[in-house]
Structure 1
Amino acid sequence: MIGPPTSPIGLLVALAISIRAVHLVLLRVLSYVIPPFDDSHTILSNTLLPGLRWDAIHFMSIAKSGYEWEQQLAFQPGWMAMLHAGGRGRAWAAGKVVGVDELVWAGMILAAVSWIGAAVMLDKTTSYLFNSRFAFLTTLLYLIPPTPIPSLPYTEPLYALTTFTGLYLLTVKRQYLFSGIAFAASTGIRATGIFNVLILMGIAIIGDVRPRDLRVKKFVKRCLTHSWKAVIPSLISIVPFLAFQLYAYMSFCGQSGISSRPWCENGLPSAYGFVQKEYWGNGLFKYWTISNIPNIILPLPIIFISFLGTYKYLKSLIQPKPTQPSPKPELLVIYIHHILMMSLMLFASHTQILLRTCITDPVIWWNMAGLAVDWGGGQGKSIKMTRIGKWWIGWTLIWGAISTVLWVGHYPPA
């Protein structure tokens, strides 16, 4: 007779598998009950596929037929390659020709498995940067995100897995080259992966030096003597973005019978920035309009946790408590990266996508774990749930359920 898992990792994996299995079944059942409000998914398939909504329609189109339209250049090819491979594998096992149905279900399974892997890597990295008890709570909170995305064929679960793996290899193992490869995989999935270069370079420079001991002269010296370790890994991590921009230029610029697009004439032609602005309306403060106020309000709990937790961390650097251990030096670099990404989401993107990209940012979950319970002063005393913790769990459960129904019905936000 097989007993229950005895290790925290085993317990977390068992919980994660159970949650995703139940959620996948729920999505399937709801697809029979809730008729989609938007029928754009029928362009690709008339079957009841709960995963074929919003950007997933673009993903499936690219995975099946390649990049046919300029607006699709906003999406890096890594996830589509995984969808194509998974769809072929599922079709082969069933003795079928690869179709949209196979691509969608392969994507949903890949997303669920990737999210489970991301939870494991988050736990391992957090155990090193904090402690095992804090890591266990962080990962438990991660298992109830305010989004159905971990069960859907979207890029975020695989991006989270590759990013957290890169962090683990960098912070725990100090494997710069392998970390750069993992971050390259992140960039191949989402273009924002190029910002992981800041983490690579920052940790190479700071190393194990505490922020309070890092004076300007010492920082400059370490830039000259330590940054070399991250140069090649950093170049590796941005190659997928540069390669895809080259592909876009060769495919959409200068071909006979195709009128040249504005971005083709730039000194350094890049389709990504143009497409984001032209088709998705992204840009500094461009999303800050009266009509978008509801979409900006929706992720406010995440923004609040991000601000409060980051403030608490920075305060601990400026006014350390003698009873608490000093934070690991690497955290400063990761928090700076977090501040940059949150600023990008808040000021230059569709802010509501924080509801799904939150699963790719470990700082949000570290902040939440730090605010969710009273740790009893770190002296081995019992811990208890705070008001913020109760409020967060209630919100994630309620909004997670609502957003699942909205997704199946093809209602915003997504």
Structure 2
Amino acid sequence: MAAPVAGVVRLAAASRLLVLALSLLSRLLFRPYDTSASLHPPCLLPSNASASADDDPAPTVSSLAVWDGVHFLRAAECGYEYEQSFAFLPLLPASLNLLARSLLAPLVPVLGYRAVLVISGYALNNAAFVAAAAYFYRLSLLILKNPNAAYRASVLFCFNPASVFYSSLYSESLYALFSLGGIFYVFTGANTIAMIMLALSGSARSNGALNAGYFCFQALLHAYDAAVQKKRPILAVQVLITGFLRSVFIFLPFFAFQAYGYLNICLYGNMEEMRPWCKAKVPLLYGFIQSHYWGVGFLRYFQVKQLPNFLLASPVLSLAVYCIIHYTKLLHRLFKSISIHELIVATVEGRSSEAYKSSDVDTVLNSGFSTTTNKAQGHADVKRRKSVATDPGSMHNNRSNDKILEVNEGCPILVLPFILHLAFMTFTAFFVMHVQVSTRFLSASPPIYWAASHILVSPKSKRWGYLICIYFIAYILLGSLLFTNFYPFT
């Protein structure tokens, strides 16, 4: 497996160089639409005033922070000064500070602290994306059990439509790294590493807290196996409690940051009148910011003037809906061919014992679920042979049974939590959020690339395969041109 992973790493690095080259070229050829990002007032908080300077020795470098990157840069440089700045979670700003004050500290006297923060962000995010691509391939191989499909999906991920965000001062790369890595370790049994990585994903983006669902899925599988197969109800209760505690741990960073905002604004703030969200029974700052400052809410974006944004998001939303329908059909056929009980038992028993016993990361990386689908396929083979032996007239059904086995090989039950996660994210993106954000909001969801990979090799979908390639290429080019120059993109 080392050679394919190395190939994915090289491809991911090449894709980042391409996006960076296109972004820099577009910045040289076109004038930014909004030049206000180059204005940097000094920090308001006295404790951070020393880190901020009125002069900027390298304004060209500092101006590379655009759109949300301006807010992440400000939080890294000056801390959380305003109520709305708490919408930008702390992992990226903290990481920028750490790099700028350690490895890149010698550059500060030459370029200035602000410029070094920007360089730190670009270096960190591009490196994080390369690591995320490696985890993406390993996760895809683990779930799909098909090296070719996993590699095709990884290529698509490396050149995904939201590529420009993964090479900019945004939190997408860190989220993808810790989300994909954490989910990979969930399914290989390295639960401690998985908890830490998924918790970090929740401190990069708010939707990272949803990754707790993978631990819930794992707990439900093992609780069912303990209660029904092993007849050990106490063990089943222990498994459920452990899964619940792991899920709570993943939520902790996000809620800890909300508590930090409450302390700074509601308890120790210098506002004359207490903010309305401070008086709520559950004072959730993040939800208030999204609703009050950006108008996020159910159906609030359904306006005629927003039609262009719906069109901009339509490709990724269409692909997500196709993915959900495609894998739902495959799962339905899987459940018809094999009982759910047999699937759960095969999935749980198929996990390598080394993945549980070893704390060595390298061992876990090379273990994982072993032949889960092969065991499920074995059950189906036995059923088919029994059916043929007892009913000679069923011989004509062999071809359809073969198709079911093919479905089982490409769609194990482990796909289920990914589809549920994607369905929730897609619903939220379309009905609740600013819909144009869907392109990057859904960009770290593996099933989208798995489905697109399937379309590319399907003889019946050649035209759709071409359209997917055109869509990916066009959005990389558009993103590099528009986003970098402060034009609206997604």
Fold conserved between structures, TM > 0.5: yes
Aligned to 2:89: 76
User: Is the counterpart of residue 300 in structure 1 residue 314 in structure 2?
Assistant: yes
Match runs of 1:123-202 below 5 Å? 123-130=137-144, 131-147=146-162, 148-171=164-187, 173-202=188-217
Aligned to 1:204: 219
* Greater mean deviation of Cα atoms: 96-105 or 141-150: 96-105
Aligned to 1:379: none
Equivalenced residue count is 395
> Structure 1 residues 256, 315: CA separation in 2 closer, same or farther (over 3 Å shift)?
closer
Aligned to 1:373: 457
Letter in 2 for 1:9: V
Deviation at residue 221 of structure 1 after TM alignment: 10
Q: In 1, Cα distance between the equivalents of 2:153 and 2:123?
A: 24
Q: In 2, Cα distance between the equivalents of 1:346 and 1:273?
A: 17
Letter in 2 for 1:409: N
Q: In 2, Cα distance between the equivalents of 1:201 and 1:53?
A: 37
Q: In 1, Cα distance between the equivalents of 2:22 and 2:467?
A: 25
Q: Residues 425 and 442 of structure 2 are in contact (CA less than 8 Å); yes or no, is this contact kept in structure 1?
A: no
Q: Residues 455 and 464 of structure 2 are in contact (CA less than 8 Å); yes or no, is this contact kept in structure 1?
A: yes
**Residues 244-290 of structure 1: CA deviation (Å, up to 9, x unaligned):** 11100110013364121000001121101100000111111111111
> Structure 1 residues 232, 256: CA separation in 2 closer, same or farther (over 3 Å shift)?
closer
Match runs of 1:49-128 below 5 Å? 49=62, 51-89=64-102, 91-94=104-107, 96=109, 99-128=113-142
Letter in 2 for 1:279: Y
Q: Residues 110 and 153 of structure 1 are in contact (CA less than 8 Å); yes or no, is this contact kept in structure 2?
A: no
Aligned to 2:303: 289
Q: In 1, Cα distance between the equivalents of 2:189 and 2:205?
A: 24
Q: Residues 61 and 118 of structure 2 are in contact (CA less than 8 Å); yes or no, is this contact kept in structure 1?
A: no
Aligned to 1:16: 12
Q: In 2, Cα distance between the equivalents of 1:13 and 1:398?
A: 23
Aligned to 1:272: 286
Q: Residues 90 and 106 of structure 1 are in contact (CA less than 8 Å); yes or no, is this contact kept in structure 2?
A: no
Letter in 2 for 1:330: L
Which structure has the greater CA radius of gyration? 2
Match runs of 1:204-353 below 5 Å? 204-207=219-222, 224=237, 226-255=239-268, 257-258=270-271, 259-320=273-334, 321-326=403-408, 327-353=411-437
Q: Residues 254 and 260 of structure 1 are in contact (CA less than 8 Å); yes or no, is this contact kept in structure 2?
A: no
User: Is the counterpart of residue 40 in structure 1 residue 36 in structure 2?
Assistant: yes
Q: In 2, Cα distance between the equivalents of 1:319 and 1:369?
A: 20
- The SS at the match of 2:443 is helix
Q: In 2, Cα distance between the equivalents of 1:229 and 1:11?
A: 37
Give the RMSD, CA atoms, in angstroms. Answer: 2.5
Identity of aligned residues (%): 26
Deviation at residue 134 of structure 1 after TM alignment: 1.0
Deviation at residue 209 of structure 1 after TM alignment: 7.8
Q: Normalising to structure 2: TM-score of the pair? A: 0.76
Which structure shows the bigger proportion of residues in helix conformation? Answer: 2
Q: Residues 298 and 352 of structure 1 are in contact (CA less than 8 Å); yes or no, is this contact kept in structure 2?
A: yes
> Structure 1 residues 143, 350: CA separation in 2 closer, same or farther (over 3 Å shift)?
same
Letter in 2 for 1:167: I
Q: Residues 138 and 365 of structure 1 are in contact (CA less than 8 Å); yes or no, is this contact kept in structure 2?
A: yes
Q: Residues 84 and 289 of structure 2 are in contact (CA less than 8 Å); yes or no, is this contact kept in structure 1?
A: yes
Q: In 2, Cα distance between the equivalents of 1:18 and 1:91?
A: 24
Q: Following TM superposition, where does structure 1 have runs of at least 4 consecutive aligned residues deviating by more than 3 angstroms?
A: 48-51, 207-210, 220-226, 254-257
> Structure 1 residues 34, 272: CA separation in 2 closer, same or farther (over 3 Å shift)?
same
Aligned to 1:396: 472
Deviation at residue 135 of structure 1 after TM alignment: 0.5
> Structure 1 residues 229, 10: CA separation in 2 closer, same or farther (over 3 Å shift)?
same
* Greater mean deviation of Cα atoms: 307-316 or 357-366: 357-366
Deviation at residue 41 of structure 1 after TM alignment: 0.7
Aligned to 1:381: none
Letter in 2 for 1:135: A
Deviation at residue 224 of structure 1 after TM alignment: 4.2
Q: Residues 22 and 481 of structure 2 are in contact (CA less than 8 Å); yes or no, is this contact kept in structure 1?
A: no
Q: In 2, Cα distance between the equivalents of 1:94 and 1:403?
A: 29
Q: Residues 182 and 197 of structure 2 are in contact (CA less than 8 Å); yes or no, is this contact kept in structure 1?
A: yes
Q: Residues 298 and 431 of structure 2 are in contact (CA less than 8 Å); yes or no, is this contact kept in structure 1?
A: yes
Q: In 1, Cα distance between the equivalents of 2:155 and 2:147?
A: 12
> Structure 1 residues 89, 31: CA separation in 2 closer, same or farther (over 3 Å shift)?
farther
* Greater mean deviation of Cα atoms: 143-152 or 48-57: 48-57
Q: Residues 208 and 329 of structure 1 are in contact (CA less than 8 Å); yes or no, is this contact kept in structure 2?
A: no
Q: In 1, Cα distance between the equivalents of 2:212 and 2:484?
A: 36
Q: Residues 138 and 366 of structure 1 are in contact (CA less than 8 Å); yes or no, is this contact kept in structure 2?
A: yes
- The SS at the match of 1:227 is helix
Aligned to 1:359: 443
Q: Residues 249 and 264 of structure 1 are in contact (CA less than 8 Å); yes or no, is this contact kept in structure 2?
A: yes
Q: Residues 208 and 330 of structure 1 are in contact (CA less than 8 Å); yes or no, is this contact kept in structure 2?
A: no
Aligned to 1:380: none
Letter in 2 for 1:227: L
User: Is the counterpart of residue 407 in structure 1 residue 407 in structure 2?
Assistant: no
Q: In 1, Cα distance between the equivalents of 2:425 and 2:473?
A: 25
Q: In 1, Cα distance between the equivalents of 2:151 and 2:279?
A: 52
Question: What runs of 5+ residues in structure 1 fail to find an aligned partner?
Answer: 377-383
> Structure 1 residues 223, 156: CA separation in 2 closer, same or farther (over 3 Å shift)?
farther
